[in-house]
Every structure is written in structure tokens, then in C-alpha cells.
Structure 1
Amino acid sequence: MRLTLRPGLRFADGSALTAQDVKWSLDRARKPDNGAWSGSLASISTIVASGNTVTLNLKQPDPTLPLPPSMPPSCRRSCSTPRVAPPRRPKPKPLPRNPSVPDPSC
């Protein structure tokens, strides 16, 4: 899988974001000692950075990787498909009282 960085990407401090920075971050996240991200990146065998491109060589196909890596793994499936609430039914209007029937409250 090849990721191409847009030109002009910057960190919050204004320094340039490079393919090497992305590689370093992904390599760090793949280490089990650094948190829960390693499981969601387990299908990556190697990462190569060159110019503005990061290449992820995979052990096997992984349909979760094209989604933004910043998404938490628990959110990938549910957040990627927006849910739409069903339309609300209008509250039924009460039927008008039939004047020929005596009111039971009397």
C-alpha cells in the first residue's frame, strides 16, 4: 500500500512533516510495548519511506488500513458507515368526539 503525502504538510510547531516522520510514527505504533495500536497494524511487515511516499508492505491483505490511521480501531467499522436515524412518525391526532354518543365522564 502506497501513501503519498501532500506537499506543504507541517507539524503544529511549523516544521515540515516528512515521509520519514510518518514511518517513525508507524514503526513506533507497531511495537506492542507502546500501546494498543500494534494489533491494528499487525498486517504490516515493513515500512519504507522515500521522498513524499510511504510504502506499507503487508503480510496479507488488510481492508482496515485504507481508513485513516488516526481512527481508533473500535471506531473503524461503525464510524466509516454513517448511521441515519429513521424518520419520526408524526403523533396521531385524536379523533373528534362524536356528539351523538354520551360522554362517559358525565
Structure 2
Amino acid sequence: MAFQKKILLKYAEDNGFPNSTFFIDDGVSGVTFDRPGWNEMIGLAEAGKAAKKRKREIAQAEKRIAELDRIFKRIYEDDISGAISHERFLKLSAEHEAEQKELMEKEVQADREVVSTYE
């Protein structure tokens, strides 16, 4: 087994895979999927997928926050120029603030979930 690991490690390093991890199930039949090494490998793969999903959610929230900021600037300019009533501006402003707050809370929660995935 040690010789096989050495061969595999050398191959990995020679071919640009510097962070090799071994999942070993010594003494456990290959007929079953209920093996410690296999379960560890699957758990790490699922954690990586979850982290990737959370990162995508964070990027989407950041994009929407930037879009809301651009929209709000235009609405503010419309309020100043008189293109919309001040009452309408206040209503839109309140809606903007509520959505912005919700997005930021989601972003913070997703950040926490990404960090906890790697702990």
C-alpha cells in the first residue's frame, strides 16, 4: 500500500496536482459504499458544492445591491428634478432600503455558511 501511495503521489506532483489527498479503506470490502474513506471523500465533495452554491448566491446579491444603488441614484435625480413626486420618492426609497437590507442579511448569512463549510 505504501508503495502504491508513493507512485500515485509522484504521478500527481509530476502532473500538476500538488494537493493530493488519500482516502483509504483498508480491510473494508469494495462491494459496499459504507466505507470510511469513501464517505469522507463524498462529504468533502458535497461541502465543496455547497460552498460553490453559496458563493454564487453572494455574487448575485452583490450584483443586485449594485443595481439597486444605480436605480436609487436615478430615482433621487428624478425627485430633485421634479420628474416624480416627493411622496413617490419616499415610497420607492423605503422599498429600496428594505430590499437592500434583506440582500445584505442574505449575503452575510451566505458568507457565514461558506466559512462554516471549511471549518
Q: TM-score, normalised by structure 2?
A: 0.30
Structure having the higher Rg: 1
Higher relative contact order (CA 8 A, sep 6+): 2
Which has a greater percent of helix? 2
Which has a greater percent of strand? 1
Q: TM-score, normalised by structure 1?
A: 0.32
